[in-house]
Amino acid sequence: MKRFVLAMMLLALPLAAQQNDKKDEKPAPPPPQWTQKLFILKYADPRNVANLLGVFECRSTPNTEMHALAVTASPQTMPAVEEAIARLDIPGASSKNIELTMQLVVGSDGEAGVGGPIPKDLESVVTQLRNAFPFKNYRLLDVLTLRTRVGQRAGTDSSGGAMQFGGVTKPVVSTFAIDSSSLGPDGSTVRLDRLRASSRLPVEVAPGQFNSQELSLNTDVDIKEGQKVVIGRHGINREQALFLVLSAHVVQ
């Protein structure tokens, strides 16, 4: 009988210890309370505002088409978010227009049978190209220009370029598009999201017979306003290469 009582006491000790441990455990803190609010902006770009709200402990979802900004934050943080948006959404923050120019330059070791002469505004760029790629001739194949508002998608195409094969002239079809654009914090850096540029060039496979060659570029670009930057180079063949020169201007 004594052995039975002793065994029962030994079994009861772990249970009592577990109960004491549970008493000592502190209850888990309740999950944080979050509140949501939708802001309709009058002037500022929702994407730019969303980027600046990153200093707060919140989540923000911009919508450029509806000019709206959805914010999720704690009740303690939301007043600071509201004040920041009120300070940022002012007339001076209205969306600006950006004018983008893509110039297609062909470097060649053969006869100058492509495009036209290099304009004066490209001479300094071509000088740099000659130092890096010493082709005998540089010619301007085509120019594509588009004007868009910050945060908007835009694109254009052109068939103004041409290549000559003996006495035959064949057109070059080019396209230029972006998903969106924005201005950096310094106000002079233009950011382009998913820039896409392509050119369809004719290729002579036999006398009088032509196929097409597709050259394309897909990238994100940061460019200083007013500067001309070579953003891509495509090898056409051993004697020719296509260079993409981009410039951007902010238009009030």
At 64 the three-state DSSP class reads coil
| pLDDT tens by residue, 132-147 | 998 999 999 999 999 9
Closest CA to 193 of 217, 221, 216: 221
d(CA 83, CA 80): 5
| pLDDT tens by residue, 167-194 | 788 899 999 999 988 887 777 889 999 9
pLDDT tier for residue 25 given thresholds of 50, 70 and 90 = low
Q: Say which residue, 43 or 130, is predicted with more confidence.
A: 130
Predicted TM-score (pTM) of the model is: 0.65
Question: What CA dihedral angle connects 119, 122, 126 and 228, to 10 degrees?
Answer: -160
Q: How many CB atoms lie within 10 A of CB 33?
A: 8
Determine the number of helices (DSSP H) and then strands (DSSP E) in the chain. Answer: 4, 12
Write the burial class of residue 52 (CB in 10 Å: 0-12 exposed, 13-18 middle, 19+ buried): middle
Lowest mean pLDDT among 40-49, 92-101, 102-111, 153-162: 92-101
Strand partners, 189: 224
Quote the pLDDT of residue 164: 83
pLDDT tier for residue 68 given thresholds of 50, 70 and 90 = very high
Query: Which of the 8 DSSP states describes residue 151?
Result: T
